[in-house]
């Protein structure tokens, strides 16, 4: 119950607030054609006691006023929002050309009178935007659509100036004009604006076209892009065309068979979307160079600007920081503005300025301010003077240079309470450390002097070093060439690593011997023997067997007794791997025999002394 009461009170409170905030607006097309019917609507967000329409004698009132009511309520996270609207509508028809003013309408609410906004309507002779033309098909298939004329659908890049000075801003607007039914766009390719520094102007997404009078014809127009351009070079610069594909919503009529079917044609007509590629014509901008006799303090600023400067302290102690702020504001190329030159006293340690600012890009250009904050630190006591800061810019409106000067700054520096110190700063001048010393980088040892204009080039030491470096490079080059060549021979690589791999296996077997793990011991011994024969004799694992190994060993002319020893060792290990412990030889004996046999084979199997 308590929750219900809270909801009702909140609803009534929200309703009372909405009733107090009265919004009364009038809306109508800005441009209409002679004889065209259009809608004039007056909308208010609360109930009225009386509605008084304005004088509409300049138009034919075909219908009205008709009243409609709309109400909506939203509850989001317990917050109730209620909105209502009452609309008074007229259907009017323009009688003749001209510009007409519709005065405000009036409503009476609780003995108070409220007025809507006035309207201006332009009536032209041209016709309203038309639908695309279709032809009747010769069969039952969809109708054939006639191509749209260039006068009915086109795109332009509009600029407010075609001749400017270097650095002067230009407002470029990409605008579409249509007298056909558009349903959207795709594959929009805006200009790259080569030769300009571009700043985008916030442009809302195009949801609907607005009516506009273009050379006596009514078009639906919409802005796709707005940018501020600053030319970066003089001469003639061409703005590349803009391309986009328009989606045309076109009616397709079906053929009729009898008189009665024609009555329902309009109802059963279908629509299809066709694509039309349109391209804007190129736009050429003439960029004039800035006049000669530029001021010494001019750094490329163009526009209508002003400057102010101030310091946060005029009386400080040694090593206390002072902040000097320079603010440049106005309209112009603020984004690429350079910091003004300031002549600081030599006893001041200075740092690069911190740059900040707030710049807005509008149809009037880039407007805002740019701040340069300098950190300066006096190192000695005394009275110092910072001369007036001068800033020069070119004013394209008056076609001349202007120089602004600030006041001079007098800084009084007193001795510090503690012993005067010197700052040692890193290369970035970010971290400041204080040392109790007045002088730094003192060299106390003996100085080693060198004869002036004497160089090492051409000396004996230079020639010997050059020759030595060349010889060393040649030796390293030959060594690495041979090493790479050896590594490309896979047989030789496997042959060289056979003994190394076998000894790793035997080392693992040795660990199993200490653990008295007979099965794992004999498994590693066999892997060591078979792996050694595979790598040393270049036998693939798939073809590895005792018969194959014996055959290749005989081809290598290995002694028969040595071949018999390795065969007996393999047989003994294979038998002992699964035989009882008392029926097999001790593990240490097997390990020593394996090591001796592999060592003997390593001495005999040398690829350089025999051929397979």
Q: What is the mean pLDDT of residues 547-561?
A: 80
Among 200-209, 258-267, 320-329, 512-521, top mean pLDDT goes to 320-329
**Confidence (pTM):** 0.53
Residue 494's φ and ψ, nearest 5 degrees, are -65, -40
Fill in the DSSP letter of residue 139: S
Residue 582's pLDDT is what? 54
Question: CATH 2.60.40.10 in the chain, residues?
Answer: 2-124
Residue 136's pLDDT is what? 35
Residue 17's pLDDT is what? 43
Average pLDDT, the chain: 78
pLDDT digits (tens, 9 = 90+) for 221-255: 889 999 999 999 989 999 999 998 888 877 766 55
Q: What is the mean pLDDT of residues 393-422?
A: 82
Given a cut of 50, is residue 276 above it in pLDDT? yes
Given a cut of 70, is residue 266 above it in pLDDT? no
pLDDT confidence tier of residue 450, bands split at 50, 70 and 90:
low
Q: What is the mean pLDDT of residues 537-553?
A: 79
pLDDT confidence tier of residue 572, bands split at 50, 70 and 90:
confident
What is the share, in percent, of the chain residues with pLDDT greater than 70?
78
Q: Exposed, middle or buried by CB within 10 Å (0-12, 13-18, 19+), for 601?
A: buried
Q: How far apart are CA 537 and CA 597, in angstroms?
A: 15
Nearest in space to 156 (alpha carbons), one of 99, 199, 212, 204? 212
| Residues 374/408, Cβ–Cβ less than 8 Å | no
Q: Which CATH class is domain 299-434?
A: mainly beta
Q: Exposed, middle or buried by CB within 10 Å (0-12, 13-18, 19+), for 20?
A: exposed
Residue 174's pLDDT is what? 92
Residue 233's φ and ψ, nearest 5 degrees, are -150, 155
Output 272 or 262, whichever has higher pLDDT.
272
Question: CATH 1.20.120 in the chain, residues?
Answer: 490-604
Q: What is the mean pLDDT of residues 283-310?
A: 90
Given a cut of 80, is residue 579 above it in pLDDT? no
Tokens representing residue 30 in the block: 């800005």
Nearest in space to 104 (alpha carbons), one of 160, 33, 40? 40
Q: Which CATH class is domain 490-604?
A: mainly alpha
pLDDT digits (tens, 9 = 90+) for 524-540: 888 888 887 787 777 88
Output 6 or 588, whichever has higher pLDDT.
588
pLDDT confidence tier of residue 612, bands split at 50, 70 and 90:
very low
pLDDT confidence tier of residue 130, bands split at 50, 70 and 90:
low
Q: What is the mean pLDDT of residues 14-39?
A: 73
Centre a 10 Å sphere on the Cβ of residue 345 and count the other Cβ atoms it contains: 18
375 DSSP β-pair partners: 323
Nearest in space to 78 (alpha carbons), one of 18, 19, 9? 9
Q: Which CATH class is domain 2-124?
A: mainly beta
| Residues 92/37, Cβ–Cβ less than 8 Å | yes
Output 526 or 268, whichever has higher pLDDT.
526
Q: What is the mean pLDDT of residues 507-512?
A: 82
pLDDT confidence tier of residue 387, bands split at 50, 70 and 90:
very high
Given a cut of 50, is residue 432 above it in pLDDT? no
Residue 326's pLDDT is what? 92
| Residues 179/199, Cβ–Cβ less than 8 Å | no
Tokens representing residue 351 in the block: 């740092």
Output 147 or 310, whichever has higher pLDDT.
310
Q: How far apart are CA 339 and CA 352, in angstroms?
A: 10
pLDDT digits (tens, 9 = 90+) for 54-90: 888 788 787 778 888 787 777 777 677 777 888 888 8
What is the share, in percent, of the chain residues with pLDDT greater than 90?
14
CA angle 139, 144, 148 (to 5 degrees): 165
Q: How far apart are CA 46 and CA 25, in angstroms?
A: 12
Residue 571's φ and ψ, nearest 5 degrees, are -60, -40
Task: Report CA 586 to chain centroid distance, whole Å.
Answer: 74
Distances in Å between the Cα of 388 and the Cα atoms of 27, 89, 409, 584 are 56, 65, 7, 106
pLDDT digits (tens, 9 = 90+) for 326-367: 999 999 888 888 888 888 888 888 888 999 889 888 888 889
Centre a 10 Å sphere on the Cβ of residue 246 and count the other Cβ atoms it contains: 22
Q: How far apart are CA 602 and CA 599, in angstroms?
A: 5
The residues, ordered by sequence, that sit 6+ positions from 494 with a Cβ below 8 Å of its Cβ are: 535, 536, 538
Residue 159's pLDDT is what? 92
| Residues 531/508, Cβ–Cβ less than 8 Å | no
Classify strands 196-201 and 348-350 as parallel, antiparallel or unpaired.
Answer: unpaired
Output 493 or 554, whichever has higher pLDDT.
554
Nearest in space to 310 (alpha carbons), one of 372, 263, 368? 372
């Amino acid at each position: 119950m308590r929750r219900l009461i809270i909801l009702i009170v909140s609803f009534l409170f929200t309703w009372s607030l909405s009733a107090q905030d009265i919004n009364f607006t009038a809306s109508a097309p800005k441009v209409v054609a002679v004889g065209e019917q259009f809608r004039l609507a007056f909308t208010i967000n609360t109930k009225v006691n009386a509605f008084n329409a304005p004088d509409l004698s300049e138009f034919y009132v075909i219908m009205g006023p008709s009243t409609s009511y709309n109400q909506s309520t939203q509850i989001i996270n317990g917050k109730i929002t209620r909105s209502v609207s009452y609309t008074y509508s007229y259907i009017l028809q323009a009688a003749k050309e001209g510009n007409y003013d519709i005065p405000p309408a009036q409503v009476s609410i609780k003995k108070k009178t409220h007025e809507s906004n006035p309207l201006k309507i332009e009536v032209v002779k041209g016709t309203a935007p038309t639908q695309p033309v279709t032809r009747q098909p010769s069969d039952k298939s969809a109708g054939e659509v006639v191509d749209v004329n260039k006068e009915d659908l086109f795109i332009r890049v509009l600029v407010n100036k075609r001749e400017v000075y270097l650095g002067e801003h230009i407002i470029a607007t990409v605008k579409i004009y249509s007298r056909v039914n558009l349903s959207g766009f795709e594959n929009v390719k805006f200009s790259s604006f080569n030769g300009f520094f571009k700043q985008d102007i916030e442009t809302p997404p195009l949801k609907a076209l607005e009516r506009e009078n273009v050379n006596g014809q009514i078009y639906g127009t919409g802005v796709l892009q707005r940018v501020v351009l600053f030319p970066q070079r003089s001469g003639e610069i061409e703005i590349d065309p803009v391309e986009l594909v328009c989606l045309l919503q076109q009616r397709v009529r079906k053929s009729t068979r009898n008189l009665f079917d024609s009555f329902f044609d309009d109802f059963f007509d279908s629509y299809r979307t066709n694509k039309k590629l349109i391209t804007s014509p190129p736009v050429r901008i003439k960029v004039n160079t800035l006049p000669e006799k530029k001021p010494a303090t001019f750094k490329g600023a163009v526009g209508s600007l002003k400057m102010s400067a101030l310091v946060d302290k005029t009386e400080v102690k040694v090593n206390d920081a002072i902040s000097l702020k320079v603010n440049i504001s106005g309209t112009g190329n603020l984004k690429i503005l350079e910091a003004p030159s300031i002549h600081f006293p030599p006893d001041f340690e200075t740092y690069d300025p911190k740059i900040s600012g707030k710049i807005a890009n509008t149809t009037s250009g880039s407007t805002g301010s740019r701040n340069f904050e300098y950190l300066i630190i006096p190192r000695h006591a005394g009275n110092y003077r910072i001369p007036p800061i001068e800033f020069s810019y070119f004013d394209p409106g008056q076609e001349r240079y202007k120089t602004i000067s600030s006041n001079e700054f007098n800084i009084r520096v007193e001795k510090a309470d503690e012993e005067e110190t010197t700052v040692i700063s890193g290369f970035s001048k970010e971290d400041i450390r204080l040392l109790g010393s007045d002088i730094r980088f003192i060299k106390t040892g003996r100085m080693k002097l060198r004869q002036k204009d004497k160089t090492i080039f051409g000396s004996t030491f230079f020639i010997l070093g050059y020759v030595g470096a060349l010889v060393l490079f040649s030796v390293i080059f030959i060594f690495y060439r041979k090493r790479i060549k050896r590594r490309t021979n896979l047989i030789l690589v496997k042959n060289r690593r056979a003994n190394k791999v076998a000894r790793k296996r035997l080392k693992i077997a040795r660990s199993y011997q200490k653990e008295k793990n007979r099965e794992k011991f004999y498994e590693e011994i066999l892997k060591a023997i078979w792996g050694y024969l595979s790598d040393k004799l270049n036998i693939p694992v798939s073809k590895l067997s005792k018969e194959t190994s014996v055959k290749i060993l005989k081809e290598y002319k290995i002694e028969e007794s040595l071949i018999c020893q390795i065969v007996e060792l393999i047989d003994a290990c294979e038998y002992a791997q699964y035989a009882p412990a008392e029926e097999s030889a001790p593990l240490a004996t097997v390990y020593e025999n394996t090591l001796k046999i592999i060592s003997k084979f390593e001495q005999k199997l040398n690829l350089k002394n025999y051929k397979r």
